[in-house]
Amino acid sequence: MSCKCGKTCAPVESPANICTTEDKAKCGCGPAPEATPLTGKNFTATRNACKLCAPLGACLAFRGIEGCLPFLHGSQGCATYIRRYMISHFREPMDIASSNFGEESVVFGGRGNLNEGLKHVIEGYKPKVIGIATTCLAETIGDDVHMYVKDFIKENEGSISIPHLLHASTPSYAGSHADGYQWAVRAIVDQLAVDGPNEKFIGVFPGMISPADLRHLREIMDDFGMQFSIVPDYSDPLDGPVWGEYHRIPEGGTPVSEISKLGRASAIIELASTIADKQSAATLLDEKFSTAVFRVGLPIGIRQSDKFYKVLEQITGRPTPAKHAGERGRLIDAYVDGHKYAFGKKVVIFGEEDFVVGLTAFCAEIGLKPVLCASGGKSGKLKTCIRDAAPELDPETEILEGVDFAEIEVAVNHLKPDLLIGNSKGFSVSRKTSVPLVRVGFPIHDRVSGSRTLHLGYRGAQRLFDTLVDKLMEMKQDGNDIGYTYI
């Protein structure tokens, strides 16, 4: 149908022939503004971010140090938001202190607030360690927290018992929660690890994984008979047993004494794919102490787990224990049993970049067809790392970084996947598009299993495979009017 403007108001193949917003003002026709989604170069704001703030990741890392209380240098709202956000996932208490900026702090700096806050925390909590992370506000006004901490120690030494004070710079405008986590881990190692005679001791930097994953990693390392330390280890502080009485700082975490030994470790294993050298604690140890570093991606699925186990075999000189070889064999058998249900089903995967790399490699090896791999992170390495981890991936698979859920929703409507695989923040996309969501990773706010969701190793792959195939079978069963009991 032609209009006064000489264009067409009905949908046509060529967008050039459709009435624009300006045309609509002239003749009252053409598409509504929302009919053309604003993505990529057409839109710069974030809508429903596919990432979280950097101090959140830092607080998670600090919680994995024994006796550590996270402390945010900034406004009270940041600490409250992060504390509540993490409680909703882990279902455990999570205290986070704050220097509680007000208008005066913004204008004149937050040194006084930081000093006062540290004194209160030391008196009230008696922590072994205080992990200080900076918020956007403190970074924007240029507070020199490193200098403030040094001055605080100088001014108060002798009058109060000062714990280890660790500081990480974590502005959210420079990175995501995954970046904040890595910055904090690097800062912890930089400020605590010391040189000395080499020891038969392995350090492991696991990345952002679940408490269940951390426990499984410990089990694997124990079975290889190694002396090791996982840094950080928040499995007990954020997934511990019920208490008879409240603990202000939960038990568990990596002791400072073990972190200090990292400079003398015989080897370091870092589970990461997209991490930059300037973020990497392993790279720092290599630069400072010439420590041997082994970097492998998150061991999700058989192929990635095989790489991890081969590193352990290389370091220890021992074969993979029979228990784990048996798990691998049963997993292969399960792949065969479930292949006909998984093969060719289209999936969209989203989350932290390293997690997306591991999940994509796993999905590709079980016959699923990833059509979109997306992350809010901006490492610049996502596409290369995914192609390296899953060389059989379809060349047409879209791999996007720095995206939000509004852009993911547009892609889902276009790609028509069978499943979404990611955290619970993707539920809004699932609901709008009627594509089922399988919840993995962080955060999982609308289920109680977040802390106990296992992803890593052969055992984690078995759990993921069973969950995904069972979901596909359930969808097939529910979508049939007859109601077959055999699928």
Spatial strand order of the sheet with 265-271 comes to: 228-230, 199-205, 265-271, 293-296
CATH of span 54-192: 3.40.50.1980
Contact 236, 251 (CB under 8 A): yes
* pLDDT for the residue numbered 47: 83
Q: Which of 347, 366, 447 is nearest to 91 (CA)?
A: 447
162 residue type, one letter:
I
Per-residue pLDDT in tens (0 to 9) along the chain, 487 residues: 455 555 555 444 555 555 555 555 555 554 444 444 555 555 567 788 999 999 999 999 999 999 999 999 999 999 999 999 999 999 999 999 999 998 888 888 899 999 999 999 999 999 999 999 999 999 999 999 999 999 999 999 989 999 999 999 999 999 999 999 999 999 999 999 999 999 999 999 999 999 999 999 999 999 999 999 999 999 999 999 999 998 999 999 999 999 999 999 999 999 999 999 999 999 999 999 999 999 999 999 999 999 999 999 999 999 999 999 999 999 999 999 999 999 999 999 999 999 999 999 999 999 999 999 999 999 999 999 999 999 999 999 999 999 999 999 999 999 999 999 999 999 999 999 999 999 999 999 999 999 999 999 999 999 999 999 999 999 999 988 888 888 7
> Which residue bears the tokens 């403007």?
5
Q: Are 89 and 442 in contact (CB under 8 A)?
A: yes
Question: Residue 376 contacts by C-beta under 8 Å, 6 or more apart in sequence?
Answer: 49, 50, 51, 176, 401, 402, 403, 404
Whether the domain at 54-192 and the domain at 339-478 fall into the same CATH topology: yes
Can you tell me the distance from the alpha carbon of 102 to that of 72, in angstroms, rounded to the nearest whole number?
A: 14
pLDDT of residue 299: 98
Strands lying side by side in the sheet with 369-375: 398-401, 369-375, 346-350, 419-422, 437-439
Question: Would you state the structure tokens that stand for residue 38, as one six-digit string?
Answer: 């604003």
Q: Specify whether the CB–CB gap between 198 and 262 falls below 8 A.
A: no
Token digits for 475?
């969808």
Residue 346 DSSP class: E
Tokens of 282: 């392993």
Give yes or no for a contact between 389 and 357, defined as CB atoms under 8 angstroms apart.
yes
Task: Identify the pLDDT of residue 386.
Answer: 98
First CA to last CA distance, the chain: 49
d(CA 120, CA 293): 40
CATH 3.40.50.1980 fits 199-243+254-316, yes or no: yes
Beta-carbon contacts of 456 under 8 Å, excluding residues fewer than 6 positions away, are 209, 213, 216, 217, 298, 299, 300, 305
- State which CATH number among 3.40.50.1980, 3.10.450.50, 3.20.20.140, 3.40.50.880 fits the domain covering 339-478: 3.40.50.1980
Spell 291-319 as b/e; 16+ CB within 10 A means b: bebbbbbbbbbbbbbeebbebbeebeeee
CA distances from 130 to 74, 173, 179 (A): 15, 24, 20
Distance CA 206, CA 308 (A): 12
Domain boundaries, the chain: 1-36, 54-192, 199-243+254-316, 339-478
Q: What is the predicted pLDDT for the residue at 35? A: 44
* pTM given for the model: 0.90
Asked if 229 contacts 203 with a C-beta cutoff of 8 angstroms, the reply is yes
